[in-house]
Amino acid sequence: MHHFALRDGALHAEDVNIETLAALVGTPFYCYSTATLRRHIRVFREAFAELAPLIAYSVKANSNLSVLKIMREEGAGADVVSGGELARALEAGIDPKKIVFSGVGKTRIEMAAALDAGIHQFNVESEPELDALNEVALSRGARAPVAFRINPDVSAGGHEKISTGKAEDKFGVAWTRAPAFYRKAAGLAGIEIKGVDVHIGSQISDLEPFERAFLRVADLVRALRADGHAIDRLDLGGGLGVPYGGPDQSGGDPPHPDDYAKLIRRIAGPLGVQLIFEPGRMIVGNAGILVSRVLYVKRGEARDFLILDAGMNDLIRPALYDAYHAVEPVRPRPGALEAYDVVGPVCETGDRFARQRDLPPMVEGDLVAFKTAGAYGAVQASQYNSRPLVPEVLVDGARYAIVRPRPSFDAMLADERNPIWENAAQTP
């Protein structure tokens, strides 16, 4: 469910008219609904109420500070994958004891910052990372709380670029080698074993891959305990999909959190562990839209093009993953549907949001909204073609706030400068 709907012929975000917002902010821009954000995190939390898990919101899905502060207000922690995301979570006031640090390439500087902050857990993904974390912890007189991320060799379906649980993926420790890694970790003075972590991918549309992975991990927890390890935590990651619509949604909507919770209770409930979840997309995906204006309607020989002022640098998912986003006029006009290729102004053939999408008649100046754009939209935006990052707007009832402004060209250029030459150090 989301809070974007037509009212008096025009799309509204909660009680704010998108046409009015576009006139005030300019296009393109992202718009997020506070009511949707709060509803989704509460639905997830209520599904697991009896298990009292740590819900560590996946910061990479949408890292705007205002979104993170809402997550904090709702009692969530944070799953971070970089020092920058750690800094954002702390700036938003999230309790370090609710922060989990994931990712395959943590640097020693990032490890030190997380240790100093006193985070809840490192999800360790390789033996070299374990060695590095041990060294950093010892240098600071600390012990790092860790869970190994286990790769269960389970295919979760969906796009190959967001699959993380197969043997050929870069993530995690092979489940068959996990006992040896835990034995090594137990002998390291700077490491404190806390649990097991697993995350098999993103935008997963059914429960069967979760069940196969979690059953394998539950067996591993029992085996590790039999080896003498105190496994008190089980981090089951994120991955629940959201309904984008389109051809990829032919199998129906993704599982509801209530059904997901029933599966977890059956498999993990008997283990008596603290559960940790890292939801991201399912919290913020349907809570955001990207609003763009039609620059031109180009009538081609083979097809017609709807040329927008938003480009692949603003929303890269269709170019990167062939991802589907519903495209809707902000004020639909009557008339027979027409097929358009929906494209942007970036100087790339791949700057295409949709092929032959049926839409009401469109003219220059019309506004369109890309639905389900709250996750992996603004966070993956760039300034390619020297196009400024688009602003982000948060709506709460009848109020709105610009929570990230559009930079001016002067601001874009301010961090660049003519070289001030210095001699390079001589190497032997």
Cβ-Cβ contacts under 8 Å for 227 (sequence gap 6 or more): 179, 182, 183
Three-class secondary structure of residue 291 per DSSP: strand
Structure tokens at 348: 């790339």
**What are the residues facing 55 on neighbouring strands?**
277
From CA 413, how far away is CA 396, in angstroms rounded?
A: 33
Checking 175-179 for CB contacts under 8 A at 24+ apart, the result is 175/150, 175/151, 175/216, 175/217, 175/220, 178/148, 178/150, 178/220, 178/224, 179/223, 179/224, 179/227
CA dihedral 104, 108, 111, 116 (to 10 degrees): -170
336, 347, 363, 425: the active-site residue:
347
DSSP code, position 163: B
DSSP 180-222: HHHHHHHT-TTEEEEEEE---BSSB-SSHHHHHHHHHHHHHHH
DSSP code, position 256: P
Structure tokens at 294: 């039609």
Beta strands, E only, 14-69 = 16-17, 29-33, 54-58
Using CB atoms within 10 Å of the CB of residue 100, give its burial: 0 to 12 exposed, 13 to 18 middle, 19+ buried: buried
Known catalytic residue at 31: no
Instruction: Please count the other Cβ atoms lying within 10 Å of the Cβ belonging to residue 329.
Output: 18
**What are the residues facing 173 on neighbouring strands?**
150
Instruction: Please count the other Cβ atoms lying within 10 Å of the Cβ belonging to residue 31.
Output: 27
Three-class secondary structure of residue 55 per DSSP: strand
Residue 303's nearest CA partner among 240, 227, 354 is 354
Cβ-Cβ contacts under 8 Å for 298 (sequence gap 6 or more): 304, 305, 307
Catalytic residues: 347
